[in-house]
Amino acid sequence: MFVISKLAGAVLMPLSLLVLAGILGVILLLTRYWRWGRGVLIGTVVALYLASWEPTASRLLAPLEQRYPALLDPAGVAETQGPVTDIVVLGHGHRLDPQLPITAQANADGVTRVLEGVRLQRHFPDSTLWLTGGAVRGDTPNSEVLYRLMGEVGLDAGAVERLAEPRNTAEEAQAVAERLTDDAGTIILVTEASHMPRAMGLFRGQELEPIPAPTRHRVRAHEPDAGTHPGHGVRPSVHALHMTKRAFHEYLGMAWGRMRGQIPAAED
């Protein structure tokens, strides 16, 4: 099921769908249905432009990223929710290359998550920082790579535990639920802002109610008086296409989680 979900996710991403549509259009051009082929190709180009256009990408991603506010006042959590005992940082892949420093081997999104986890643990020095993430490719778990990164750059803030078995968010939620004891206090969950709605749904499916601490926001307000880059809002960009991909990935992931009963029906 894990392999099926990964393959289906790869095929259903915007760029994959557009490439398939372009191939179909070219094939139709070579047949008596060439008018249909021309229409498919025109539609593909228009769809590619819209998917790579930041206003479109932002509108798709913003509902996910803005569902849970950033945890800017950690001290307020302890006052309203009780003592924080655990901070869970979800993994986000890596690619090992001995020719590169550890900072380049861990995915940038994973590094950002770890930084947010360490920031929060400094506010709650008695808490345990959980690094999750197994080995999807190769033999080295992602949690081990992130732990190594923390050690090499001096980010050790307190107690750190690693969960090396989970390969996706559903397995991470299950592993955390199995490891935490009944006397655990408040739990903080750290992941990307766009990923947080799905992660919260999966953790609630395991009867956990963590405090969300989203990070790595891609839809961000412009700085006051910073001005804009010429052509901004008109030209397509790879960054915007990646934002669209993130939105597709998360919406599909939430639908898959609900189909499998891993996300409660109340989660929207």
Please name the amino acid found at residue 43.
Answer: G
Greater confidence (112 vs 79) lies with 112
Q: Is the pLDDT of residue 267 over 60?
A: no
Nearest-angstrom CA–CA distance, 29 and 25:
6
The structural domains of the chain, with segments of one domain joined by +, span 2-64+236-259, 72-215
The torsion region of residue 254 among left (phi > 0), alpha (psi -120 to 50) and beta comes to alpha
Mean pLDDT of 4-8: 68
Q: Are 110 and 93 in contact (CB under 8 A)?
A: yes
- 176: which residues sit within 8 A by CB, 6+ positions away? 88, 130, 132, 163, 187, 203, 206, 208
* CA angle at 209 for the pair 203 and 210, rounded to the nearest 5°: 85
Rg of the Cα trace of the chain?
21
If we measure between CA atoms, which residue out of 199, 174, 175 comes closest to residue 188? 199
What does the pLDDT look like over 193-214, one tens digit per residue? 999 999 999 999 999 999 999 9
**CA-to-CA separations, 90 to 24, 51, 53, 148, 172, in angstroms, rounded:** 39, 27, 29, 15, 7
Nearest-angstrom CA–CA distance, 149 and 201:
29
Nearest-angstrom CA–CA distance, 267 and 198:
9
Q: Is the pLDDT of residue 268 over 60?
A: no
Nearest-angstrom CA–CA distance, 164 and 115:
19
Arithmetic mean of pLDDT over the chain: 89
Beta bridge partners of 122: none
Q: Indicate the CATH number for domain 72-215.
A: 3.40.50.620
3-state DSSP assignment of residue 129: strand
Q: Are 94 and 105 in contact (CB under 8 A)?
A: yes
What does the pLDDT look like over 117-169, one tens digit per residue? 999 999 999 999 999 998 877 789 999 999 999 999 888 767 999 999 998 99
Residue 55 has a pLDDT of 92
pLDDT level of residue 229 (50, 70, 90 thresholds):
low
pLDDT level of residue 257 (50, 70, 90 thresholds):
very high
pTM here is 0.89
